[in-house]
Structure formats: C-alpha cells, structure tokens
Amino acid sequence: MLVLGIDPNYLSVEFPQTVYANAFNTMEQALLYRHIVPKICWKLQKWLQIGEEKKLSRAWQTFDRFLYERISSRKANMEKKEEEFDLLTAYMAEEEEEEVKEDEQISALRKTDKFLRDTAFSFLGAGNDTISSGLVWFFWLVATHPSVENKILKEIKATIVMHKKEDGERRFFFNTKQANNLVYLHAALCETLRLYPPVPYNHKIAGQADILPSGHHIKKNQTVLISYYAMGRMEEIWGNDCLEFKPERWISEKGCIVHVPTYKFTAFHAGPRNCLGKDKALIQMKMVASAVIGNYHVKVAKGHPVLPRNSIILNMKYGLKVQLSKRSLL
Ligand code: HEM
C-alpha cells in the first residue's frame, strides 16, 4: 500500500493466492541461491535457463509486468491530477519538480519506466519483508515474555489517546509525536532486531586492499561476508546476557533510549550505505505492534515449531501460528 498504493489483499490465508506476491517470494529464494553457489554456476544456469535461474527469470517477468502496470496507472493519475499518496507517486512528482541541474542524460534516465521500475523494486525489496519479518519475531518474543508484554501495555495505556466510536467500540490512535514517547516499545523492537535482524547477513567487496581492525588482510576485490545475526549475539559486543531478550538494555537511567552506534547495532547496516528507511520502519512497526498488542493478547499455538528459514530475509520457517483473544482492558 505504502509503496505502490495498492492493497494486494494477501494478509489472510483465506484470500486467493496473489501471483505477484508469489513471484516476489520466488525471486527472494533464487537470490539466496546466488549467494550460496559460485558465480560461475548461477551464470551458467542463467545462460542455459535452467534450475533456480529459470524460476528467477519467470518470476522476474511476472513481477516486472505488475510494476510496469502500476507505473502507468500512477502516471495516468498524475496527469488527471488525482490526489494520492504512495512512495512511487511521491518519487515521480519529486522527479518532475527536480530543479537540480544534473547531467541531461542522467536526468532523462531517471524518468524512464525502467528506472522507475528499479526504484519501486528497491522500495519494495527494502521495506516489505524486512518490516514483516521483524514484527513476526517481535510478536513471538512478546508472547513468550509476559513481563515485557505487561510493560508495553502499561506504556500504551499511558501514551495513547482512546477514541470511542459511534457504535460504542473503542479504538486508539496516536500521532508521530506520541510514538516518540513509546520508549519501552521502541526498546523492545530494537532488542528484537538485535536478536533477529530481518537482513541476517550482508556482503561487501573491497575496492582496495585493506586491513580490518581484527588484523585480517583483505585483498582488492575480495568479498567479505558480514553476519548481523551472529554480531547481535556476540558476548564481546553485548555482554554476558547477550542471548537474553532484555529491552531494558536500550533504556537509560533517565528513561530515554540509549544511543547505540550503528557499527554495534548493525540490523540497519552501518556507514554510508546504511538503511534509508530506518525511522520509517520503526514508526511503522510501532503502529502495528501497538495496535495488535493494545487490542489483542497473542498466544503462540501449542507445539508450533519456531525456526528461522534459510533466506536472504530472516523469516520464520513455518510462519507463526497464534491464537488472538480480544482484550477488554483498553
Ligand atoms: C526493519 C526494517 C528494515 C531493516 C532491518 C532494514 C535493513 C537494511 C539493511 C541491512 C540495508 C543495507 C543493505 C545493503 O547493504 O545492501 C538497508 C538498505 C536500505 N534500506 Fe532498509 N531496512 C528496513 C526497512 C526499510 C524501509 C521501510 C525502507 C523504505 C521503504 C528501507 C529502505 C532502504 C534503502 C533505500 C536502502 C539502500 C540504501 C543505500 O544503498 O544507500 N528500508 N536496509
């Protein structure tokens, strides 16, 4: 919804399967494969159009069709001057108004449908599964740590404005200023992302020969694989309680969020190419987390196995099966 202004209607298992959503998942799976096998193997498979690369090409075509349709519908709406908000429309409007004198060729390229497709794909790839993966681990951690759940509830009740609808049902709302006051919830989300970073690993290629702070020599063009998952659980970095889910470690004595350098808390990467959507992600996660926890008690189904899936995004292998019961206290 936020990126393309379209509701894919796939939140409920009863809804029909969405071809585009399936294509997106297939692409993610095939991209994991590219990280595992030597480059020559997947390049050969791509050339011969076999195996994972064949699946990737097909899914790519399906997803491309979907994105191009969205781009032309957004363009048509912009011409009709229809008021709409989504990231793609905002980006396109910005490009139209851009007054920066850049190279004409670059400027023309940035307005092509292909460039818009790549931009929309980056937004979707970066902000779609990452937030949902983080939230699923969060709900599981909260469900298995009742004292954390109680503290979150207490904070929500103290911060958020209740609103009684005409039919008597009560709902709550909050704005971004109030969201900033949800300190404990913010801490619980950061603690979740430390233990279960949605992007569990990353790799970078050295532009120049270098020596890492650890003393390891890196050659030019050598690939370095960084495991954010392992870093979030290292005793040297997080202390001897590193495996415990403790939102309190993020809160100072004065009750504020402790600043943790990005090179220590690496879930959003660090340095010049770190995540551009970090603040947006945390706000969005706070909105969903407080709406769910404030209105429902989440209980994990008995015997449901909770394991990470091998993927470029740290999803749960079998999803999270839960029982929701409506709360009466809010
Ligand atoms: C919990 C949610 C999220 C996590 C854990 C996360 C994590 C990351 C990580 C690890 C990177 C670095 C990737 C790399 O080096 O290749 C990254 C980059 C990026 N993220 Fe996020 N992200 C999240 C949500 C979002 C959202 C909601 C958006 C915006 C729609 C977003 C936009 C971006 C962009 C544009 C980049 C590329 C930055 C660049 O290369 O300069 N992210 N993110």
Nearest atom within ligand 1 for CA of residue 280: 27
Q: How far is CA 14 from the centre of its chain?
A: 24
Ligand 1, atom 41, residue with closest C-alpha: 273
| pLDDT score at 84 | 76
| pLDDT score at 77 | 83
Residues at CB less than 6 angstroms from ligand 1:
122-123, 126-127, 130-131, 134, 193, 198-199, 202, 267-269, 273, 275-277, 280-281
Nearest atom within ligand 1 for CA of residue 3: 30
Closest CA to 71 of 61, 57, 86: 86
Ligand 1, atom 7, residue with closest C-alpha: 268
| pLDDT score at 100 | 55
Separation between Cα atoms, residue 197 and residue 306, nearest integer Å? 16
Work out the average pLDDT over 103-118. 78
CA dist 112 to 6, 80, 85, Å? 21, 20, 21
Nearest atom within ligand 1 for CA of residue 134: 1
Q: Please tell me the distance between residue 328's alpha carbon and the centre of ligand 1 in angstroms.
A: 37
Q: Please tell me the distance between residue 204's alpha carbon and the centre of ligand 1 in angstroms.
A: 15
> Six-digit token pair at 68?
């191009």
Q: Please tell me the distance between residue 47's alpha carbon and the centre of ligand 1 in angstroms.
A: 30
Separation between Cα atoms, residue 119 and residue 88, nearest integer Å? 8
**Tens digits of per-residue pLDDT, 266-281?**
999 998 889 989 998 9
| pLDDT score at 19 | 86
Q: Please tell me the distance between residue 199's alpha carbon and the centre of ligand 1 in angstroms.
A: 9
Q: Please tell me the distance between residue 246's alpha carbon and the centre of ligand 1 in angstroms.
A: 25
Ligand 1, atom 19, residue with closest C-alpha: 275
Q: Please tell me the distance between residue 275's alpha carbon and the centre of ligand 1 in angstroms.
A: 4
Q: Please tell me the distance between residue 310's alpha carbon and the centre of ligand 1 in angstroms.
A: 19
Tell me if 208 sits within 8 A of 190, measured CB to CB. no
**Tens digits of per-residue pLDDT, 290-318?**
889 988 999 999 999 999 988 889 999 99
Work out the average pLDDT over 63-83. 86
Would you state the torsion angle of the CA atoms of residues 25, 28, 29, 33, taken in this order, to the nearest 10 degrees?
A: 170
**Tens digits of per-residue pLDDT, 282-294?**
998 998 998 899 8
Entry pTM: 0.88
**What percentage of the chain exceeds 90 in pLDDT?**
54
CB atoms under 10 Å from CB of 316, counted, come to 19
First-to-final CA distance of the chain: 28
- Annotate 205-230 with DSSP letters as a single string: E-SS-EE-TTS-EE-TT-EEEEEHHH
Domain ranges of the chain: 1-127, 138-330
What integer best gives the mean pLDDT of the chain? 88
Strand locations in 178-295 (E): 201-205, 210-211, 217-218, 223-227
Nearest atom within ligand 1 for CA of residue 273: 41
Q: Please tell me the distance between residue 92's alpha carbon and the centre of ligand 1 in angstroms.
A: 20
Work out the average pLDDT over 118-141. 91
Nearest atom within ligand 1 for CA of residue 284: 27
Model confidence at 101: pLDDT above 60: no
Amino acid at 93: A
**Position 246 confidence tier, pLDDT thresholds 50, 70, 90:** very high
Better-scored residue on pLDDT, 102 or 12: 12
Separation between Cα atoms, residue 119 and residue 99, nearest integer Å? 20
Separation between Cα atoms, residue 292 and residue 326, nearest integer Å? 10
| pLDDT score at 80 | 81
Work out the average pLDDT over 244-250. 98
Model confidence at 222: pLDDT above 60: yes
Q: 138-330 has which CATH code?
A: 1.10.630.10
- Annotate 76-144 with DSSP letters as a single string: HHHHTT-----HHHHHHHHHHH------HHHHHHHTSHHHHHHHHHHHHHHHSHHHHHHHHHHHHHHHT
**Tens digits of per-residue pLDDT, 135-193?**
999 999 999 999 999 999 999 888 876 666 666 666 666 677 777 789 999 999 999 99
Residues 6+ apart with CB under 8 A from 28: 129, 311, 312, 313
Q: What is the DSSP letter of 324?
A: E
By CB atoms closer than 10 A (0-12, 13-18, 19+), residue 227 is middle
Ligand 1, atom 6, residue with closest C-alpha: 268
Work out the average pLDDT over 48-64. 94
| pLDDT score at 136 | 97
Pocket test for ligand 1, best of 275, 288, 315 (most atoms within 8 A of CB): 275
| pLDDT score at 183 | 95
Q: Please tell me the distance between residue 276's alpha carbon and the centre of ligand 1 in angstroms.
A: 6
| pLDDT score at 92 | 84
